[in-house]
Amino acid sequence: MSHDLFEAAVAAMAKAHAPYSRFPVGAAIRTVDGRIHSGANIENASYPEGWCAETTALAHFVMAGGGEIAEIAVVAERMARITPCGGCRQRLAEFAAADTRLHLCDDTGIVETTTLGALLPLGFRGDGLK
């Protein structure tokens, strides 16, 4: 079942806007009810104003009504087993549990599965702000 999530991330990566870094990235999120939300990185000439593939996928997830995230896949055209950057790890932690599966991919499929908590063990949690 996770291979279709990889394929959604690859399809999203094909739509990346990465004219400056030439480093396309795709991400896909599956909710527990089976919906898939994907995204690609979108660069801007003012580098800090661009956003990552995971951020785009999260935006689609939120706009579609959210839900519980079951698994996430990330793929990059030029880097096998890419992981989300620090900012995206925190963004994902806002919506996904520490035990959410995170699939790291190369150009053929999933090469490693870890958890969001393993990548961000002491992530900042919003429940402390309430």
Q: Where in the sequence numbering do the catalytic residues fall?
A: 54
Please report the beta strands in the chain, taking only residues with DSSP state E, as ranges in sequence order: 25-31, 36-40, 69-76, 101-105, 110-115
Cβ atoms 52, 84 nearer than 8 A: yes
Q: Token match 């520490």: residue?
A: 98
> What type of residue is 63?
M
Distance in Å from the first CA to the final CA of the chain:
37
